[in-house]
Amino acid sequence: MNALKNTFRDISQYPSAVLGLVIIVLLVIFAVYAVVTIPYNEAIRMWRGGEEIWGDYPRNAAPAWTNWFSAKKLPETIILTTDDERVKKEIQTVGSNQEVIMHYVFDYPYDDFPQEMIIFFTSKYDVKQPHITMKWVTPDGRELRMSQMSVRRSDQYRFELDERLKRRIKDMTIIQGLFATPDVMPPTIQKGQYELQISALLFEPNAEVDAKLVIYGKVHGLAGTDHLRRDLMVAMLWGAPIALSFGILAALGTSVLSMIIAAVGSWFGGAVDEVIQRITEVNLVLPVLPILIMIGTLYSRSIWVILGAVVALSIFSSSIKTFRAIFLQIKEAPYIEAARSYGAGNLRIIFSYLIPRLIPVLIPGFVIGIPSYVFLEASLAVLGLGDPVLPTWGKVINDAQAQGALFNGHYYWVLQPAVLLMITGLAFSMLGFALDRIFNPRLRGV
């Protein structure tokens, strides 16, 4: 306990280490929050989901906080259902039929046009489908009638596909025509209160109809959305536990196993040490990244398979030679001779007397090694060889690259995961280099 207190006291003398430790703690809290709020199976289901999950989300929408830095107030998504207090519903009797009239009234205070608009219909009937007529009312009282249609049990109406509206609205898109100030070019937003009137004629006594209006904005949430309407916050949240788990497990497995192998070779010497050194020298010339690419292409892209391959390829690294040089010096120490004299076994000497002496050297190397494995996993994902089901930061960058995000101006799509990767690497590096100075007295003045 005293040693731990002394270590924290030494860390507090390095501002960079304190900052790195604070960032790491925040990343851990971020990761725990992700796992608690979005369980693993739910995260995968959401990330692999389609319109049934993300149907109400806009496509390629920037984060909502970008409005703070924009001269134009970009629209957020507006969703109106019959349960909303802004929606009025009337039921009238027309002969032997029923007419359901729904008034969707909303304010539009934004400086730009919506991305798209869809009405989602649900209905119940036995034989004859309900018949729908729709009317759009602008703040200045203009009325635009839309195409009539019969709706199935689950149906959609997309405004931009309405041929009747296309004939009435010229020189601009349908969305612009619905929201633009009349007789003004280029099209300018007309702010104010809009109304969509939906009239549904029901031909059967037990028939029902309901409608949901979704006006898709251009900004959404804390992280925005991608080309599949997915909320990128899911990937930003779950990228943290995946990145930290991969980096920590890979660095810990590599460091500990390398130290054990080096200790065994140094203690037994002879043929054992010779074999370990030859394997290390062969492994040092192997191209790790191309081998991992081959594994991901030809065998499996599972993150656990990649993790195992990374550890296996990194065990026999140059650190074995570093550890071996230190162990050879420790091997000749008087307390090792004393342990031999009272009959301590080989394993006891290795694990009780040799390895503990190198723990101070292991800890800084372990911490500094974590970012390299985090970046390695992200690099494989950017190359399209990441785990196909997990939402990771590298996977988000890969999707952004495939969809030309930077070319199309969707900078947030690339910058957010890239910044999180950079912050993670910087935090562990700052803490690791400070620990190296603390545990290695020769570096304290550097």
> In the chain, what are the domain boundaries?
2-44+230-443, 74-216
pLDDT tens, residue by residue, 274-294: 999 999 999 999 999 899 999
Mean pLDDT to the nearest integer, 137-147: 90
343 exposure class (CB count in 10 Å sphere: 0-12, 13-18, 19+)? exposed
Mean pLDDT to the nearest integer, 214-236: 95
- Which is nearest to 38 in space by CA: 245, 241, 220, 222? 241
Mean pLDDT to the nearest integer, 334-352: 86
Mean pLDDT to the nearest integer, 222-243: 95
Mean pLDDT to the nearest integer, 422-438: 91
**Most confident of the ranges 73-82, 344-353, 381-390:** 73-82
Residue 445 has pLDDT above 50, yes or no: no
More reliable by pLDDT, 113 or 360: 113
Cα–Cα dist 372/425, whole Å: 8
- pLDDT of 17 reads 87
pLDDT category at 337 given cuts 50, 70, 90 is confident
Residue type, 48: R
- pLDDT of 346 reads 87
Residue 443 has pLDDT above 50, yes or no: no
Side by side, the strands of the sheet bearing 208-216 are 78-80, 208-216, 116-124, 154-158
H/E element holding 215? strand 208-216
How far from 45 is each of 54, 164, 302, 347, CA to CA, in Å? Answer: 11, 39, 17, 48
Q: Which two tokens mark 362?
A: 């292991």
Residue 212 has pLDDT above 90, yes or no: yes
Mean pLDDT to the nearest integer, 421-432: 94
- Which is nearest to 306 in space by CA: 362, 356, 373, 360? 373
181 exposure class (CB count in 10 Å sphere: 0-12, 13-18, 19+)? middle
pLDDT category at 165 given cuts 50, 70, 90 is confident
- pLDDT of 271 reads 92
Cβ atoms of 196 and 134 closer than 8 Å: yes
Mean pLDDT value across the chain? 90
| Confidence (pTM) | 0.88
Residue 429 has pLDDT above 60, yes or no: yes
The four Cα atoms 47, 53, 57, 61 give a dihedral, to 10 degrees, of 10
Residue written as tokens 């694990």? 351
Residue type, 231: D
Percent of the chain at pLDDT above 70?
98
Mean pLDDT to the nearest integer, 229-257: 95
- Which is nearest to 198 in space by CA: 85, 120, 140? 120
- pLDDT of 446 reads 43
Q: Which two tokens mark 313?
A: 């390829």
- Radius of gyration for the alpha carbons in the chain, expressed in angstroms and rounded: 32
Specify the CATH number of the domain 74-216: 2.60.120
Q: Which two tokens mark 324?
A: 């071996």
Cα–Cα dist 291/43, whole Å: 30
Residue 407 has pLDDT above 80, yes or no: yes
More reliable by pLDDT, 78 or 16: 78
Residue 255 has pLDDT above 50, yes or no: yes
H/E element holding 137? strand 131-137
User: In residues, how long is the chain?
Assistant: 446
Mean pLDDT to the nearest integer, 79-100: 88
- pLDDT of 441 reads 58
Cβ atoms of 338 and 267 closer than 8 Å: no
What CATH number matches the domain at 2-44+230-443, 1.10.645.10, 3.30.750.24, 3.40.50.720, 1.10.3720.10?
1.10.3720.10
Transcribe 313-348 into DSSP letters. Answer: HHHTSHHHHHHHHHHHHHHTSHHHHHHHHTT--HHH
- pLDDT of 139 reads 94
Which residue spans within 171-302 are E strands per DSSP? 192-202, 208-216
Residue 220 has pLDDT above 70, yes or no: yes
**Which of 90-94, 173-177, 275-279 is predicted least confidently?**
90-94
- Which is nearest to 277 in space by CA: 322, 312, 310, 311? 322
